[in-house]
Structure 1
Amino acid sequence: MDRFILLMLASILAGFALLKVPLSDTFLAGLEPITNLIGILAIVIFSLVLMYKGLMALLGRK
């Protein structure tokens, strides 16, 4: 179970890193809106999963 939580935290950090990566002045500059969207979705989805798992742990359910 601890590895799952660490994986979720690493995914959230990857989402933040994807938001901060500078793509201007590169050939990938056109993909910046897509990478921002993917980063935001990763942060939101994995944060919701962590909150769900925490709530289930508090309620005593697996």
Structure 2
Amino acid sequence: MDRFIFTMIAGILAGFALLKVPLDIPFLSSFQTIITAIAIFAVVVFSFVLIYKAIMTLFGK
């Protein structure tokens, strides 16, 4: 497999891991919405890139 694909999968996994981070510390709890938004954005972007690359591979480009 291509290294690029492994990097995209790692980005998706990192986004999911960031969603599961406990933010019980008072300092971090103020950033909970920002961290959640970054995690969701990372998962969505990396997933779309993988889907795009898969479609381009299927059509031979």
Amino-acid identity (%): 57
**Is 1:59 matched up with 2:32?**
no
Partner Cα distance (2:60, 2:33) in 1: 41
| Residues matched between the structures, number | 61
* TM-score (structure 1 length as normaliser): 0.93
- Structure 1 counterpart of 2:16: 16
Unaligned runs of 5+ in 2: none
Runs of 5+ consecutive residues of structure 1 not aligned to the other structure = none
Moved over 3 A (4+): none
- Please report the TM-score for the alignment, with normalisation by the length of structure 2: 0.94
